[in-house]
């Protein structure tokens, strides 16, 4: 199945380390991040899961629920979690989906046969409260993901949704933003009473410090 931005994230039922869930029901009105791991007891995944567990307060602060997925079984997840806590200093504090029959992995296109037909590649999906897919990242099994970047993109998505702006390269909260190209100057003056700076007719900057 090929998923695209703006589509509704597929719903599913699955067993997790925190009980059986129906995905859309579990998400509720929250943002969500679902990310896959090739299999349990792998070194790169061990570091990723430990780091994401440490970031959970940051996800919580943004109203984001995190859930992982591996094609292994629940008993292996539990044993692996002990290793993660021992080596990374933090136990996994969010659900991990058990997907031994690859139902969810195939639903989300996480199996890339040309890379490895037996395991999932490192995918990340960010899903908004309307259950729409807003971000998709695909990494090779050998490369660990940057979860600080996942948080940064969520900050961008939440800011652009709320304030009708776009964010420039390497943007982070507190940086200036860009007036949407689709917005006329007259509309921009109403939207941004604090004013904006037009560097070019198509490149108009808004100071957003008061939003942070």
The CA distances from residue 1 to 49, 104, 132, 147, in Å, are 26, 11, 16, 25
Which active-site residues does the annotation give? 45
**Contacts with 47 (C-beta within 8 Å, 6 or more apart), sequence order:** 88, 144
Closest CA to 77 of 45, 118, 32: 45
Dihedral Cα 180, 186, 191, 192, nearest 10 deg = 90
């Amino acid at each position: 199945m090929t998923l695209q931005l703006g589509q509704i994230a597929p719903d599913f039922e699955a067993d997790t380390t925190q009980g059986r869930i129906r995905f859309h029901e579990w998400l509720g009105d929250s943002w969500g991040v679902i990310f896959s791991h090739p299999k349990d007891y792998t070194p790169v995944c061990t570091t990723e899961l430990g780091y994401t567990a440490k970031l959970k307060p940051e996800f919580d602060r943004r109203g984001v629920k995190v859930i992982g997925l591996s094609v292994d079984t629940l008993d292996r997840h539990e044993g692996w979690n002990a290793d993660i806590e021992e080596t990374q200093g933090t136990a996994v504090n969010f659900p991990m989906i058990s997907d031994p029959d690859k139902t969810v992995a195939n639903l989300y296109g996480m199996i890339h046969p040309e890379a490895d037909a037996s395991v999932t590649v490192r995918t990340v999906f960010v899903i908004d409260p309307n259950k729409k897919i807003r971000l998709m990242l695909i990494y090779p099994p050998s490369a660990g993901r940057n979860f600080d970047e996942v948080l940064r993109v969520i900050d961008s998505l939440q800011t652009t949704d709320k304030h009708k702006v776009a964010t420039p390269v390497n943007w982070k909260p507190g940086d200036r933003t860009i007036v949407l190209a689709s917005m006329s100057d007259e509309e921009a003056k109403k939207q941004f009473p604090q004013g904006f700076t037009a560097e070019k007719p198509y490149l108009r900057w808004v100071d957003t410090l008061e939003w942070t």
